[in-house]
Each structure stands twice: as structure tokens, then as C-alpha cells.
Amino acid sequence: MSPTNNFYTSIKPMSNISQLTDPRFYHDVPDDWYIALSDVRGSTRAIEAGRYKEVCAVAAAGIAAQLNLFEMRDTPFVFGGDGASVLIPPEYYEQSRAALAGTRRMAREQFDLDLRVGIVPMRDVLDAGHLIRVARLEMSPNFQQAIFTGGGLRHAEDLLKDADAGPRYDVPEDVAPQADFYGVECRWKQIPSRKQEVVTLMVMATAAPSAHNDIYREVLERIEAIYGDTKDRHPIALSDVKMTFSPATLSIEGRIRHEERYSARVLARMMYGSLKAMVAMIFNIGGWGGYKEIMHAATDHEKFDDTLRMVFSGTADQRRRLTAHLDSLHAEGRIVYGVHIGQHTLITCIMYDYFGHQMHLVDGANGGYTLAAKGMKKQMAALQNDAD
């Protein structure tokens, strides 16, 4: 990335999700940048058919394809379970479109999933009266999560999905596909809840914009009062993180990374690599005994992109206390929210250095963010009907 486009890497990071309401951490996205967008059409149906691992993996692959355009593999992005948004500097516009086209082709040919892909100019977002401001949340020395505010990211997503405006931003089918999915890995079993359940939560403020910071601050304070701090509510316990040798699970990574070259031989190499990693972790060979701690710290289980997105572990009683408070905020017209309750966490990994730069994308198993979003959209529709 050129010196004129390194604004993101120079941002001082926040250290805790509770700081997301502090404007001092945010910087405006340059007006000549672009937003690369992808999401799986019909993701709810696919997830209800048991294909949630494939949906999450395709969304993660879309992120990797964009990150791999950059030497430092560092640009703002957010993972949404069934899709992703990635910010792109202007000199990478054509490469980004090719990577989006390549991700769409891979999703279609390898998984029979219909991936909507498009790229929206930042200028169009600004001209519509929206902003995208970005901050960095330091999850670990190896991963800093982008945090977004200003409403512009949501507006870009709406533009792409709009029946009239969308074709302007779609990546046409005649764009030559060229995507590199280096780094995508799916080597872990689903991880059981540390406590009784895994909660996947989405909260969006609907009151006047001037009240949004107070609303999100109140929600975060209530979550901390009920579930404890980030460490206490983390959805993953190290003792529950285990390698998978399931051919069905490993084949997801294999089909993404190798596409038409995927074969039984590739699967065998993957299984052998997983076996070596497991042995190295058990016997602390080459420092691998501490790898799970590195992985655990580099997860995106708490984030914000004009919607608070969190995956955490707790008890049914804690969840009832939280949703009672959220229900009261919703009744006051201050928020809409969605929640998915499950027993496991799903992680999809993008690995560039096993002891360095890496990110582990977290979702609730069996639907997580996608099904939480379904509930939130239902509340939003009801709110709009009441307004009419």
C-alpha cells in the first residue's frame, strides 16, 4: 500500500470494545477509496439446510481474496457471517473487482452458492450524505479489528442490494476472475460453549443519531454487568479447541484453496498437516504448545459496523436478563436487535503466520449472525410499519 493510502495502519488502536463510542479513535475514510462487498444470496435457506460452515467459509474467502492484494495484508474489513465488507484504495480497484469475480466463481462452482459481489465508490456514499469513519480495536498483537461508524457502510450495502441502483455497482460477469485465497483455513472442530450456551447478538440503534453513542454505551455496560468483561464472556475455552479430521470439514478449505485441483491427495496432505500440528501442540514442538493462546487472542468475537456484533458464552439466566433489557430499549424505539442461541462456536481462520499475523472469524454455529440478522430485520420491518 502506498504512503498516501496507509491512513488505516497509522490509526492508534482502542484497547476495548467499550471505547467504540469515543470519537477520538475514528478517522475518515479517504473520499477516493472503494467498498468491496460480498454476501451470499439465500444464506438463510442454505443455513437452514445445514450448510452454515460453507456459507461462513465463502464469506471468509472473500475477505482473504481482498487482503491478498496488499503486501501487508492489512485494510479495514468486517465479517458478517454470510458476507463481508472490505475497504479498498483506488489503485487496487481493478484487482479488487477481479478478486470479487473470482470469489463469486469459486462460490458457484465449488459450493453452488450464489454470491452477490459489488464495489461502491466512497464518493457515492459521501454524496448521499453518509460517512464512513474507521477505528482499530486491538484484539491481540497479531490482529486489529476494524470498527466502523457513520452509517456509510450500511448505505453501501443497501445500494448494492437495491433493484434499481444495484446494477451500477455489481461486478459484471465479463470481469475476468482472479482470486487468491491463500490463508483460508478450516481446521478446527466446532467449539462447545464454555457455559450453557453461545449467544450471537446484533444491536442497532434506531433513535436520533445524536443518541447513538449513549445507547451503545448503555448496551455494552449492561452486557458487562451481566456477563463480565471480554475475558469472562469470551465464547472459546482453550481446552475445547480441537483439530478436526473430518473429510467433509477439511474439504471446505480444500475446495476454496485448490478449486478444481482439489483431490483425495490434497485431502490426505491436509489431514497429515493437521496431525503434525496436533502432535506439535501436545508436545510443544517448535513452540506450538502456545499456539492456542495466540489463536484465542486473535478472534473477531466483538466488533461494530454501525451495528454491534458480538458472540459470547453464558447461561440461559444471563441471556434472559440481557434480552429483558434489550426488549425495554426496543419498546422505547431506541434499538432493534437480533439474537441467536446455540451450543457451539464456529471459527474460520485466515492464517498468514502461525506465530504472527492471523485472524479467526467467529460466528455462532448453525446460523449465528445470519439468523440473528433475520430477527433484527423483522423488528426493523415492524418499526417501519408502525411509523407508516
Q: What is the pLDDT of residues 248-287, one digit of tens each?
A: 999 999 999 998 899 999 999 999 999 999 999 999 999 9
Q: What is the pLDDT of residues 218-233, one digit of tens each?
A: 999 999 999 999 999 9
Q: What is the pLDDT of residue 1?
A: 42
Whole-prediction pTM = 0.95
Between CA 29 and CA 124 the distance in angstroms is 13
| CA-closest candidate to residue 292, choices 160, 388, 220, 191 | 191
Mean pLDDT of the chain: 96
The domains located in the chain, with CATH, are 11-180 (3.30.70)
- Enter the C-alpha cell of residue 352: 498468514
Higher pLDDT pick, 387 / 300: 300
